[in-house]
Structure 1
Amino acid sequence: QCGKAFRDTCDLIRHQSVHTGERPYECGQCGKGFSVKSHLTVHLRSHTGERPYECGECGKGFSVSSSLVQHRMIHTGERPYECGECGKGFRKSSHLARHRMIHTGKRPYVCGECGKSFRDSSGLVIHRTAHAGECPFTCSECGKSFIQSSNLIVHRRIHTGERPYECPECGKRFSQSSTLTQHQRRR
């Protein structure tokens, strides 16, 4: 159907579900279906809260091993995906792809309400919540509300004093990764 070849019959059968839409592995709690059993296993962790992959550096847990691999790059400072245009490095290939649009000027996601365009779909989704006047993420400490959960997470650090990002050069700690990046550029 698509020309992909597989050495193992099991891999071929698993891949064919991409074309058939078959999802034989169903979550008993919410009914969501999956084409691969391992995807169901990972999904079940969203119900149980299980996070079997733990960072040895800071103790943060993850439900998927690949998320731990990505997270560890925060501590090592590793940014394996580099922009050929400006040399900026990224932890994820998807972040590099989004960044490249800065150089090309592409903004393919357009708001139907006001015409504002965005480089990625998540930017458009966040923008739409602003039109709707929604700020669903509220700080239990001070009542301030946010459009994005990530902004609330960063905001909470004002109250907790948490500074999870450390400069490997001088040991200074920061509450936001972007502040650490700015600090490193100035050194």
Structure 2
Amino acid sequence: MRSHSGERPFVCTDCGKDFVHKHHLVSHRLMHSGDKPFVCDNCGRSFRQKHNLVSHQLTHSTERPFACADCGKTFGNRRVLVSHRRVHTGERPFACGHCGHRFSQKNHLVTHQRIHTGERPFACAHCPKTFRVKAGLTIHQRVHTGEKPYVCRDCGNTYSMNHHLKRHQRMHQDPPVAPQGGQWDNVGQAQTQPFPWGGCETTV
């Protein structure tokens, strides 16, 4: 009956988001805790919710009985096929209640809505910075870990972000192309500047 009354008594103490049912709150709080209790027996990958594990496990199966009539791509799950076909149909069934922007995938809508709510659930363990999407946190953490997975084939310089590598590679063009509004240093590296709180540095 709460779904009709609008009552949402279960509130997340971390971000204030409220829910109609307790199990929805329990599932949501895993996002803050980082717990992923559902583990794939095939590859060890873990998930916060069981239905995500079930969908993932289909990727290990060779059986892909659901085929797209438009491009022939096959899928192990009918739900994934339905989602894929929106690429061809242009259907965008998920609408933002704040601005009306529409999306083909529900997870894209969820991410977009954080612009309106201000929710930034992915927090860096090393500094105060928070992010709306996990990918943003993953990239940022390279500032602290020193990981630089993008390697220049011409000179071996390494970078934490792909667009930094692409900007650097202009130096190897003939003639070299300087970055807009800036100059190369003597090794073609991007300059650094401190974060506003002075705790660490990042390339720009």
C-alpha distance 176-63 of structure 1, shift in aligned 2 (>3 A): same
Q: Provide the residue aligned with 1:73 in structure 2.
A: 30
Letter of the 2:112 counterpart: H
- Within the candidate set 79, 89, 113, 1:132 is matched to 89
* Equivalent-residue separation in structure 1 for 2:36 and 2:13 (angstroms): 19
* Equivalent-residue separation in structure 2 for 1:121 and 1:163 (angstroms): 32
Gaps of 5+ in 2: 146-204
Q: Provide the residue aligned with 1:20 in structure 2.
A: none
Q: Provide the residue aligned with 2:153 in structure 1.
A: none
Q: Tell me the secondary structure at the aligned position of residue 87 of structure 1.
A: coil
* Equivalent-residue separation in structure 1 for 2:33 and 2:135 (angstroms): 15
Q: Provide the residue aligned with 1:61 in structure 2.
A: 18
* Equivalent-residue separation in structure 2 for 1:57 and 1:127 (angstroms): 34
Deviation at 1:184, TM superposition (A): 6.3
2:131 is the counterpart of 1:174: yes
* Equivalent-residue separation in structure 2 for 1:126 and 1:52 (angstroms): 32
C-alpha distance 129-46 of structure 1, shift in aligned 2 (>3 A): farther
1:91-133 CA distances to partner (integer Å, 9 max, x unpaired)?
1222222222233344343334443222433322222333332
Q: Provide the residue aligned with 1:82 in structure 2.
A: 39
C-alpha distance 180-87 of structure 1, shift in aligned 2 (>3 A): farther
Structure number with higher helix proportion = 1
2:109 is the counterpart of 1:152: yes
* Equivalent-residue separation in structure 2 for 1:159 and 1:98 (angstroms): 30
How many equivalent pairs are there?
144
Deviation at 1:159, TM superposition (A): 6.0
TM-score (normalizing by structure 2): 0.56
TM-score (normalizing by structure 1): 0.60
Q: Write the mapping of 1:4-43 to structure 2, written as runs, cut at 5 A.
A: none
C-alpha distance 159-51 of structure 1, shift in aligned 2 (>3 A): closer
1:51-91 CA distances to partner (integer Å, 9 max, x unpaired)?
22111111111112111111111111111112233322111
* Equivalent-residue separation in structure 2 for 1:106 and 1:141 (angstroms): 41
* Equivalent-residue separation in structure 2 for 1:94 and 1:104 (angstroms): 16
Gaps of 5+ in 1: 1-43
Letter of the 2:38 counterpart: Y
Q: Tell me the secondary structure at the aligned position of residue 16 of structure 2.
A: coil
* Equivalent-residue separation in structure 2 for 1:133 and 1:117 (angstroms): 19
- Percent identical: 47
C-alpha distance 89-179 of structure 1, shift in aligned 2 (>3 A): farther
1:35-55 CA distances to partner (integer Å, 9 max, x unpaired)?
xxxxxxxxx333333222111
1:2-52 CA distances to partner (integer Å, 9 max, x unpaired)?
xxxxxxxxxxxxxxxxxxxxxxxxxxxxxxxxxxxxxxxxxx333333222
Q: Is the 8 A contact 2:111 2:132 kept in 1?
A: yes
2:122 is the counterpart of 1:165: yes
Letter of the 2:36 counterpart: R
